[in-house]
Structure 1
Amino acid sequence: MPALSDATIKLYKKVATRTVQGEGGLLTGEDPSAYNSSDPLRLWIIQVGVIIMMAQLLSLGLRRIKQPRVIAEVLGGILLGPTAFGAIPGFTQHIFPPDSLPYLTLVADIGLCLFLFLVGLEIDASIVKRNARLSVVVSLAGIALPFGLGSALSLPLYHHFIGPSVQFTYFMLFTGVAYSITAFPVLCRILTELELLDTTVGIVVLSAGVGNDIVGWTLLALSVALVNAGSGLTALWTLLICVAFAIFLLWPVKRVMLWLARKTGSVENGPTMFYMTVVILLLWGSAFFTDIVGVNAIFGAFLVGIAVPREGGLAITLTEKLEDMVSIVFLPLYFTLSGLNTNLRLLNDGITWAFTIAIVALSFTGKFGGCTIAAKLSGFGWREASTVGGLMSCKGLVELIVLNVGLEAGILTQTVFSMFVLEAVALTFLTTPLVTTLYPPERRVRVSGQLVQRAAAGEEDGMDSDDSKAPGKDGPWRYRFTVILDKLEHMPGVMALTQLILPTPSAPSGITSVTSTAETVDLKKPEVTVDALRLIELSDRTSAVMRSSAADTLIYTDPLLGIFRMYGELNDLAVSTSLSVVPFDDFPHRVADHALRHASQLVLVPWLPPASGHHNSIEVEPTPTTPKSPRFEHNPFEAFFGSFSKADKSASAMNSQFVRSVFAQSKTDVAVFIDTGDRSGAGGSQHIFFPFFGGPDDRLALEFVVQLCLNPRITATVVRYIKRDVDVTPLGKPEGVHAHEREQIPTIRSLVHRDDTLSIRSTAFPDTVYGQPTTQTRMQSETADSVTWSKYASPKADPDTPSLLRAALARIQFSELPSPTPLRAAIQRAASIRRAHTRLLIIAGRSKRLATGSHHHELKEILEEHGTNGDMVRKTIGDVASAMVVSSSASTLVVLQAAIPAE
């Protein structure tokens, strides 16, 4: 039964014998949906459009309950078949007339070969090798018990529904294979959706799924060979030929393909056009060979997928080039053909439904029971073992392929085929809710060791050491950092921020009388260490799942991590690297969890605004003269359904959401580096300006400024702004205040304190959530502000201040400034400093809690003056930093948020 060859020959005969028909159009009154053998493309396009739209509409609803897309495609095919839409008079005759099905079948078979090629690419033997002991036991148990139950059930099924023309052994073999198969591609999608790929359960299931798939396809090939051969001797010869051909592909051909990939540069730079041509020719040649020898063409395509080399992510790149067209167009066509052959109306009596229920129950019992017991005997607890069994019971599209092969071979009748299709849909649908119930997130055990490469030998991941202690009393030194790497565009900002925290290699000239040699050595102890966390988005694409499975090898080949490792070597910086492939919505949680496990003291997050004509705004926002889009402005549905989907937002909006989520979820201090792109002040010494307003974030920012000033090449200006109302023109200029600030300074007799309590506003995007401040907590915060300010602004008053800290404070100019408009005063001061220092870095606290007052009204006026909305920026980085951004006060800013103390 060479299915692909038969379909091609039938189609050729039909085309060769057809009569020439007119090719009129709408203007001639011709029905565009009418089947025309001389122009079959018209109806084919209509069919493809109907199929894709049906699958996409169903997936919109099923995606909400975390069901894989295959469920929508199978249900769409069933609905378009005789079960539902096919019962509408004229639907099948106009949309799926019998004469048009050969064209649809040929395209679907081509797509199925491509899909099996992708399945072969997805199978990585190294996964099985790493977890061989557990995966082999679970895989064999998940095949043996279901095969036995399926063979036992096949006896009553055969007597009730199968005619005597079909041999019982053939039917029993197909039933056993359908029971024992596990849908490896669908299993990968479910593991991705449930975020189980990096758990102990997920790794074992992935390994067992690979082994189960290989054995299952081998059994199916044997079944097809027996059916097509007609005699045992012919079947044996067919099987031996297939084994020899598989060995030929997996050894000599695979070595030649690897040599060719290296010769053409495909390993380093992705597959070239020539290499892709060779792979495609080998794919169809192998499919043709397995088809003509009596085994289905899909086995040849599957073997070529396994034979493609994995070096340098070559298999992943090949998958990226093919997966979208296969998953969007070809697979839905195949499932629709399955749906056209599925008629649930045939299940119309009690005995038929009794057998259907028995098929579902025994299939689930065999897979779930066999894999659960095997996992339990291998050392898992009952909860994890049952989760393994629930995942391995997933059927999906692989069983549908087996059923279609059996239907084409005449082994299965329409009734039995419909029973098994219903069983495959039911078990696939059951997998997600079952696993969610059995294995909730708080019970999961994650295997982080495979995704982390530690720089220091012998250091265990997640173990606290002496270096994990909080900053000591001798100074605000933070020396364990986590740097987030997301995009290549972020690398300049990451390097610039990391450069600031590097320790000085030797005692600075000019202050040798203050800092001794021993104290200079103490400056480098404890040693500054940086862990670079590379985040890769895990989407529902096959290539993304393959990246997640190969994370332990990608950590050595990822270009961003490679650049940062080299940066660490050039700067004598201890760098460790980590790589995590997770869904985009899980990025903030992974950052927070990673920082805790690695005992980081500060998380460094880059934020690069997009290029736009309005360079002083983080994102392009509507001006007062431009109509505002209601998309981000007080949408009532946003409060109910959460944030918008990723496709509905610009890159800057998504980046803003990510930064805000990190602020909200992090239990570690966070510093966000903002690069506005203004490089007009490049060159010269680095100067820092920090406006201090109070609160935990500003206190953290002040300590960070002091630590940066340990570097003798960095100086700083720190101004404490006190918001007060005035009604008298200032009379003089206090010491340390510039002339342009005189109009901001009131006389002592005119100062009236103004207490603006910071209101907690609900926002649609994730944000930091703090308890409502009370009078007591606010007074405690103000007291802490005064203590921290006195510690650093007047170090001479404390005789216990270390000389190293004194040296850093000597490079900082401290001053205080009461003002009714502190933001404007800070902007003016930043402008004057920038005229004197070409490189100005502004540091600000996010000040989302326990600050002395709110700048909301003043910031609103500043935003209106600069013609921008800035609401997204304000919610992300706070009022002070937003005012600095829109006023173009500096080319770079660092915004800090202190960790939320544990309750």
Structure 2
Amino acid sequence: MNNSAGGHQRYPTESCILLPPKINSDGLLREFGDKDYKWLDYASPRLQLIIVLIFVLTQGFHYVLKHLGLPIMTSQIIAGVLLSEAVLPKQWLGIFMSEDTVQLLGTLGEFGYTVFVFLSGVKMDISMVIRGGAKACYLAVISTLAPMIYAMSSIVMFSHHQKELTSIFYISPLFYMTSFPVIHCLLIELKILNSELGRLAHSTAIIADFLAFICIIGVSVVLGTIQGIPRYVVIPELGTILCFIFTVAIVLRPAMLLIVKLTPDGRQANQTCIYAIVVVFLISLRLIPEGLNKFSLMVIYVLGLAVPHGPPLGSALVEKFECMATGLFVPIFVTTCSMRLQRLTLDFRNEMVKEYAVIASMTLLVKFLSCLGPLLYKKMHKPDAFSLALILSAKGIIELAVYTFMSDGKVVSPEVYHAGLVFVTFSASIVPVLVRKLYDPPRKYAGYQIRKIMDAKIDAELQIVTCIHIPNNVTSVINMLNISYPTTETPLAVNVLHLVKLSGVAAPVSLSHQKRSKSQSGYWYSENVILSFKKFEGNHWGAVTLNAFTAICPPELMHDDICTLALDKLASLIVLPFHRTWYIDGTLESEDHTIRNLNLRVLEKAPCSVGILIDHGNIRRPIHSDAPAESYSNVAMLFFGGNDDREALTLAKRMARNKKVRLTVEQFIAKSDKGEVDWEKILDSEVLRDAKSNTTLKIHRLQDSKNGVNFQRLESWGICLLQKI
């Protein structure tokens, strides 16, 4: 029929709709008894089967590939390829990939990716753009501008047609941009988020991501000019973007900061406020102007940036939604991206594919060299410089998502999408493997002689690093330090490290409370801990020097902060709380396997002696320095021999100088010991002989005849028990 208004001819279309739709089935078992019933004719079983296949294939491949150092994203892409048209037989493809299943999977995946982008913005500290440091700033600028200039000049030089020029201009930012969410995920995968290299990469990625944001807007304006779009169309679009950012900055951001300000320190944000932010997030894509549609994901990212990172608001949002997004929806999204593959081999006969491969590869090489050059010029250790350049050149889920959306929008051809998928997969797979080979975080301990309490002079200041997890640790540690006899003749330098689990913040935070004021971010985390130790320092004025620190990082990386602080302070002893706690009546209160694993990692990598403080509930009561004269602390030292026991005995002798401490050393001797003398026994005898000169110290020798006692095993333990009468 003819349309009189526009003169355009329209043709009728026919569609077949089955009503009611087949959604929920009667179960798989019915198929064995009913020939007319097909279990996979229903939408819900098909969707569930596809999701199960995605996770089974992903975890199966990752179980093998993780031993090669490949990330889980590689396994997700391989799983998608196996479920794609390029591999799956057509008869199976017709069963699994019905139109409604594809649409629902795509919706789930896109929603998950949207949540991932939003949470990435929530966790990002935008102030790092300003205070990222000179090295991070110039590295971000050089590593963005140099490859961008090369990419733009190459595109203009190689592209011979208007269509090719426009298409490759659209995807050109993917060649030179450094995406913060990709770098953050990579650093977590490599477990170097709070290392020196990881912190520099993190700061650089934040600044480079901000520059990429500006570049994408600039490329959009250039594309509008190339395509001949009038200025009265391009300028309003650009103005709409700037107005949206301005609105977020002057309305949403201050409102959320007000919520944070009204929330008492240490309390959770009001649930109504949290769900209000969620509502704004969910409806934002339907309320934004039409001019922002092609920047929809950028809009979501900006909304995430408006949320103040960290507690109480940012942490609450991350804790509620990150597990769902990264554990369920993002793996589905990555897999469905590679399920779009139509063939396994690249078509290099296609001119666009050739141009894309050359420009993308050369731009990535220029980006790598532009990162590497300044680092080598600044005399950075070569393996570290190569590792940082590789990290900043990595590609990941952000680039994969942009390729996918452009392919779905017919901006790029399936052949170019195939090349982009290979490009992202290769980068995401090879970078973690190479970085693990090049970068060795424990290298900073190489050549460092482990410091011991025995090596410190008895009258010298003893440097101690003590770790605090929960409030109960404070009293236990202070009581132990009280008994350690801090005086002006035998001073203690106590470095208190409050360990806080990272939540709602992308970058790990290390705070030195000697350099920061209460008004600055992160103080309230450790305020009560600092006040308790300040009081302890005041009770021992001139005998105790206190330094307070807070480390906010993932639990699996806390050991690096502890060992780094011990290394920087030249500490002789690290005091760690035990992973079990007891009530005062001796019954078990709690057991934390995370703390246990942390203690094991510290024992493995510590640059000094390590003591595990076991609190059975009876040393949580404060021991005051002004206690009555008749009040004593009994200290029992169980001496089995060996290097650890000699360390423990050296600390016990320091305690014995306190007139309110009664020290008893119980020396255990195996009955099977026939008097053989070796170097270890000579050292043990020398330490014990020196201890006998102390009149307040008693030494008992016990010979055990029980065959069940394994003294070979017990020799590796040094035990110092504290008990208050």
**What band does the TM-score fall into relative to the shorter chain?**
0.7 to 0.9
CA contact (8 A) 2:638 2:665 kept: yes
Question: CA offset at residue 173 of structure 1?
Answer: 1.9
In 2 relative to 1, CA 444–122 (structure 1 residues): closer, same or farther, beyond 3 Å? farther
Question: CA offset at residue 368 of structure 1?
Answer: 0.9
CA contact (8 A) 2:466 2:495 kept: yes
In 2 relative to 1, CA 347–600 (structure 1 residues): closer, same or farther, beyond 3 Å? closer
For 2:19, what is the secondary structure of its paired residue? coil
Q: Give distance in 2, aligned partners of 1:184 and 1:444.
A: 27
User: Does structure 1 residue 31 correspond to structure 2 residue 38?
Assistant: yes
Of 43, 50, 53, the residue aligned with 1:50 is: 53
For 1:345, what is the secondary structure of its paired residue? coil
In 2 relative to 1, CA 220–101 (structure 1 residues): closer, same or farther, beyond 3 Å? farther
Residue of structure 2 in register with 1:501 after alignment: 484
In 2 relative to 1, CA 713–238 (structure 1 residues): closer, same or farther, beyond 3 Å? same
User: Does structure 1 residue 144 correspond to structure 2 residue 130?
Assistant: no
Cα deviation 1:601-639 (Å, max 9, x = unaligned): 3222221426699968999xxxxxxxxxxxxxxxxxxxx
Question: CA offset at residue 468 of structure 1?
Answer: 10
Structure 2 portions without partners, runs of 5+: 1-12, 539-543, 624-630
User: Does structure 1 residue 567 correspond to structure 2 residue 532?
Assistant: yes
Residue of structure 1 in register with 2:488 after alignment: 524
In 2 relative to 1, CA 252–24 (structure 1 residues): closer, same or farther, beyond 3 Å? closer
Q: Give distance in 1, aligned partners of 2:105 and 2:555.
A: 37
CA contact (8 A) 1:476 1:706 kept: no
- The within-5 A match list for 1:18-417 is 19-21=19-21, 25-26=26-27, 27=30, 29=34, 30-35=37-42, 40-84=43-87, 87-151=88-152, 154=155, 167-198=163-194, 201-220=197-216, 231-265=230-264, 268-290=266-288, 292-296=290-294, 297-310=296-309, 312=311, 314-345=313-344, 347-348=346-347, 357-359=357-359, 361-375=361-375, 384-417=384-417
Question: CA offset at residue 135 of structure 1?
Answer: 3.3
Q: What TM-score results when the alignment is normalised by the length of structure 2?
A: 0.80
Q: Give distance in 1, aligned partners of 2:592 and 2:284.
A: 43
In 2 relative to 1, CA 681–530 (structure 1 residues): closer, same or farther, beyond 3 Å? closer
Question: CA offset at residue 570 of structure 1?
Answer: 1.9
Cα deviation 1:213-251 (Å, max 9, x = unaligned): 233345445667868996553232112111111111022
For 1:525, what is the secondary structure of its paired residue? coil
For 1:689, what is the secondary structure of its paired residue? strand
Question: CA offset at residue 326 of structure 1?
Answer: 0.8
In 2 relative to 1, CA 57–489 (structure 1 residues): closer, same or farther, beyond 3 Å? farther
CA contact (8 A) 1:264 1:275 kept: no
Q: Give distance in 1, aligned partners of 2:582 and 2:390.
A: 48
Of 528, 532, 546, the residue aligned with 2:507 is: 546
Residue of structure 2 in register with 1:435 after alignment: 435
For 1:254, what is the secondary structure of its paired residue? helix
Q: Give distance in 1, aligned partners of 2:200 and 2:428.
A: 19
Residue of structure 2 in register with 1:480 after alignment: 463
Of 618, 635, 656, the residue aligned with 1:688 is: 635
Q: Give distance in 2, aligned partners of 1:112 and 1:784.
A: 66
- The within-5 A match list for 1:617-632 is none
> Share of identical aligned residues, percent?
15
Q: Give distance in 2, aligned partners of 1:121 and 1:360.
A: 31
CA contact (8 A) 1:139 1:208 kept: yes
CA contact (8 A) 1:78 1:340 kept: yes
Question: CA offset at residue 776 of structure 1?
Answer: 4.5
CA contact (8 A) 2:469 2:499 kept: yes
User: Does structure 1 residue 754 correspond to structure 2 residue 674?
Assistant: yes
Q: Give distance in 2, aligned partners of 1:435 and 1:97.
A: 41
Q: Which amino acid aligns with 1:64?
A: H
Residue of structure 2 in register with 1:600 after alignment: 571
For 1:19, what is the secondary structure of its paired residue? coil
CA contact (8 A) 1:376 1:385 kept: yes
Corresponding residue pairs, total = 681
Of 784, 788, 792, the residue aligned with 2:686 is: 784
Of 580, 602, 609, the residue aligned with 1:669 is: 609
Q: Give distance in 2, aligned partners of 1:489 and 1:253.
A: 39
In 2 relative to 1, CA 233–62 (structure 1 residues): closer, same or farther, beyond 3 Å? farther
More off after superposition, 609-618 vs 189-198 = 609-618
More off after superposition, 14-23 vs 313-322 = 14-23
Cα deviation 1:497-554 (Å, max 9, x = unaligned): 2332253xxxxxxxxxxxxxxxxxxx3235322112334567xxx8474345889989
Q: Give distance in 1, aligned partners of 2:82 and 2:355.
A: 22
Q: Give distance in 2, aligned partners of 1:117 and 1:262.
A: 22
Question: CA offset at residue 82 of structure 1?
Answer: 2.0
Question: CA offset at residue 357 of structure 1?
Answer: 4.9
Q: Which amino acid aligns with 1:366?
A: V
Q: What TM-score results when the alignment is normalised by the length of structure 1?
A: 0.66
Question: CA offset at residue 560 of structure 1?
Answer: 7.0
CA contact (8 A) 1:250 1:306 kept: no
Q: Which amino acid aligns with 2:39?
A: P
For 2:693, what is the secondary structure of its paired residue? helix
CA contact (8 A) 1:693 1:720 kept: yes
Of 839, 845, 859, the residue aligned with 2:709 is: 859
For 2:249, what is the secondary structure of its paired residue? helix
In 2 relative to 1, CA 377–128 (structure 1 residues): closer, same or farther, beyond 3 Å? farther
Residue of structure 2 in register with 1:519 after alignment: none
Question: CA offset at residue 306 of structure 1?
Answer: 0.9
Structure 1 portions without partners, runs of 5+: 1-12, 447-461, 504-522, 620-649, 726-752, 758-774, 793-808, 822-854, 862-873, 885-889, 894-903
Question: CA offset at residue 52 of structure 1?
Answer: 3.1
Residue of structure 2 in register with 1:714 after alignment: 661
Cα deviation 1:807-841 (Å, max 9, x = unaligned): xx44x4x25445444xxxxxxxxxxxxxxxxxxxx
Q: Which amino acid aligns with 2:52?
A: G
Q: Give distance in 1, aligned partners of 2:713 and 2:475.
A: 25
Q: Which amino acid aligns with 1:562?
A: E
Decide which structure has the larger Cα Rg and report it: 1
For 1:531, what is the secondary structure of its paired residue? strand
Of 571, 577, 581, the residue aligned with 2:548 is: 577
In 2 relative to 1, CA 223–55 (structure 1 residues): closer, same or farther, beyond 3 Å? farther
Q: Which amino acid aligns with 1:670?
A: V
Q: Which amino acid aligns with 2:692?
A: S
Question: CA offset at residue 129 of structure 1?
Answer: 1.8
Q: Give distance in 2, aligned partners of 1:701 and 1:339.
A: 58
Q: Give distance in 1, aligned partners of 2:607 and 2:508.
A: 29
Residue of structure 2 in register with 1:625 after alignment: none
CA contact (8 A) 1:695 1:782 kept: yes
Q: Which amino acid aligns with 2:527?
A: G
Q: Give distance in 1, aligned partners of 2:468 and 2:151.
A: 50
Residue of structure 2 in register with 1:801 after alignment: none
More off after superposition, 703-712 vs 331-340 = 703-712
Residue of structure 2 in register with 1:5 after alignment: none
More off after superposition, 113-122 vs 709-718 = 709-718
Question: CA offset at residue 347 of structure 1?
Answer: 1.9
